[in-house]
Amino acid sequence: MIPVIGLQPAELPWLRMLVFLLRHPDPAVAELARQALLYLTAAAGDTGEGEEPHACCNNLVS
């Protein structure tokens, strides 16, 4: 195993699940996982002060 800076051992199962979902043979599952990851990435950067969502996520936020 190769250590990764910033990754805790407890996070490895979540990372494995994410990779599994992104590589899923059903394209709908893989696309949903990709869109969820984009949404979470944009939400993590949101300060909650009325900022617009990132351009890649405009169609994901209602």
Please tell me the pTM assigned to this model: 0.62
CB-side exposure of 59: number of CA atoms within 13 Å? Answer: 2
Q: Report which residue type is found at 12.
A: L
Per-residue DSSP letter, 58: T
Tens-digit pLDDT string for the chain (62 aa): 667 778 888 888 998 999 999 999 999 999 999 999 999 889 888 766 655 655 655 555 54
The pLDDT assigned to 1 comes to: 62
Whose tokens are 């800076």? That residue is: 5
The pLDDT assigned to 47 comes to: 63
The pLDDT assigned to 62 comes to: 44
The pLDDT assigned to 18 comes to: 93
The pLDDT assigned to 57 comes to: 56
